[in-house]
Structures are given as structure tokens and as C-alpha cells.
Amino acid sequence: MALIDLSKREVHCKIVYYGPGRCGKTTNLLYIYNSMNSNAKGKMLTIETKGDRTLFFDLLPLNLGKIKGFDIRIQLYTVPGQAIYEATRKLVLKGVDGLVFVADSLRVRRAKNIESLQDLKKNLLEYNLDIENLPIVLQYNKRDLESSPIPTLSLEEMEEDLNKELGAQAFQAAATKGLGVFETLKYISKKTVRYVATKHLVKPQ
């Protein structure tokens, strides 16, 4: 649910990073947080948890500058990936305007990726949202492991598993090194802002 403040001329959008546990959603946010200019970013909020899992969510507010006189503010959220935290994931999805689905390239995580995408579709439906209509981008993370001895999934396999029906834009990434992180963010922010703007601010031609 975007918030459009006509008196301050601000548009607030919510982008959620979704994906199975340990796929690198928080790593994406941390990389963005560490590389952005302090004028453009707010405080990153991470709810304290034991270990390095996200228990509730992480939040990073960003200021993307002006479009047609409106300040564009984006809030990036992550969800807890582990299957048992389903209720929490659903809460964070409330009011989502754009989605990044982060998939894990490790072969052992193949089933988890598929399961998480199904879970996303199901949770969106509970808010009467259809994954096909929302701005979404896929990120195949941990591509840097391809050259290591750890078995990884090929891009074709990942496309076949996750993107066959969706046909969304997909980026390769190695979030710990920052590869693909900003490409993903740029693409989804543009798409989300356009989606919100065409709904409310710009009359379609």
C-alpha cells in the first residue's frame, strides 16, 4: 500500500525482499546500507535475534530523489525465510508495493526456493494480491559459488524452477560482494514507482 502525501509531495513505497532462509536477503540490505550516501539512507532497523537469522524483519528506508516534484521514499523490508515463521512473513507483506524474490543458487536449497515462492504466492493471495500483477524481480544469489566445489544450480534450472510462469526480470548476484545488488534494487524501485504512479499520479495515455 503506497502512501501518497499530497501536502508534503511525498510518495512512500514498500519493497519486500522475500526468499528461503539463509538466501541473503539481509545481506542485500546490509550491502545497500553500507554503500549508500548518508543523505539518501535512513537508519537500518534490525530486530535483535539470536544468531544471524532474521526473526521478524529488517527495515532500510531510502530516499530516491524527486520525480515530477514528488519525493520518492522507499522502505526496504526483509522477511524471516525459515518455514516456521510463516505468520511473521505474512505480516511484513502487508501493504507491499514491490517484491524482490531472492533465490539461493546452492543445489541443496533447490526445494526450499520453490517452496518459498509458493508460500509467497499463497500469502499474497490472502491479501487479495496476485503475484502476476505486482512489480517483482528475481535475484539468483550466491552465483560466486559456481566456481567453487560446492554444487550449485545452473541458471537454466533456476529459470525453469522459479521463473517459468512468472517471466520476470532476473539478476545474478553475489550479495556478500555486492554483485547484482544495486542492479536488482534499481530495477525494482523503478518498476514499483512506475506501478504506483500509473495507478494514481499519471493518467495513462
Partner 1 sequence: MADLILTGPALEQTRTQINESLVQAGVHTVLLIDHAGNVVASCGENRKDLDMTSLAALAAANFGATSQMAKLIGEDDFSLLFHKGKKDSIHFAKVGQEMILITIFGDEVSLGLVRLRVAELTSNIEKIFGLGN
Q: Which residues bind partner 1 (CB under 8 A)?
A: 1-7, 12, 14, 42-43, 45, 47, 56-57, 59, 61, 75, 77, 87-88, 91-92, 94-96, 127, 196, 199-200
Nearest distance in Å: CB 165, partner 1? 25
Dist. CA 3–CA 161, nearest whole Å: 34
Nearest distance in Å: CB 13, partner 1? 9
96 vs 153, beta carbon nearer partner 1: 96
Nearest distance in Å: CB 47, partner 1? 8
5 vs 160, beta carbon nearer partner 1: 5
- Please, what sign has the CA dihedral across residues 118, 151, 171, 31? positive
127 vs 157, beta carbon nearer partner 1: 127
Structural contact between residues 28 and 139, judged by C-beta atoms closer than 8 angstroms: yes
Nearest distance in Å: CB 123, partner 1? 13
93 vs 158, beta carbon nearer partner 1: 93
Structural contact between residues 181 and 32, judged by C-beta atoms closer than 8 angstroms: yes
